[in-house]
Amino acid sequence: DMNNCLTKCVASVVGGAAMGMVFGPIFSSSFLSSSIDHDQTATFKQKVVAGWKDMYKAGLRMAKTFAVVGLVYSATECTIEKARGAHDYKNGLYAGCVAGGILGASGGPASAAVGCAGFAAFSLGIDYFMTDTDPRDFMIKDKDLNQMLIREKEENLFKAYERQAELLDEIDIDTLGLTPEQLEELDRIIEAEKKE
């Protein structure tokens, strides 16, 4: 329902922002080297304060990015789940692709494609490690179902051909009033069909 979607979106935004605040400072270049480090007149305290400020800004930047990713992913997954009417690994796969594509879109089509593939794979991995069901089991079931449907269609097609052949056998050619040329043409067509 809508409340569940809203809860998911809010949780994703909050969780994403929290992760950004943790990972932003860790992966920021200011953690390793700050511009104030090169200032010979700055005291140790000033360098520490400047470093913390830079790390805080990096955390905020990454928190915003992660929050947006979480919102896009969860909203997309919820929309896809409602549209498909199914709760399985494909929802996360498609949502991951959309979120990754949107994030990478600013870098051009190639970047969007890489983002799509990367986030889809990441989502599949999360489903694998965080749920009781293995997405590969669903993939095998989907493959088996597709093969079963193909076999069923082939059988139906074969039955239709057999019925068509029976109907042709029931036709009395003499009652059709065909000319000798038409009969020759019909024989030629039948022979050509047999060769195929």
So what's the pLDDT on residue 34? 56
The pLDDT tens digits of the residues spanning 158-195 come to 888 888 878 777 777 777 777 888 888 878 887 887 67
Res. 87: pLDDT tops 80: no
pLDDT score recorded for residue 132: 63
Per-residue pLDDT of 13-72, as tens digits, reads 898 889 888 888 777 665 455 555 566 677 778 777 877 888 888 888 889 988 988 888
pTM across the whole model: 0.54
DSSP 37-86: GG-TT--HHHHHHHHHHHHHHHHHHHHHHHHHHHHHHHHHHHHHHHHHT-
Residue 161 tokens read as 């051909």
Whole-angstrom distance, CA of residue 179 vs CA of residue 184:
9
Q: Per this entry, what is the length of the chain?
A: 196
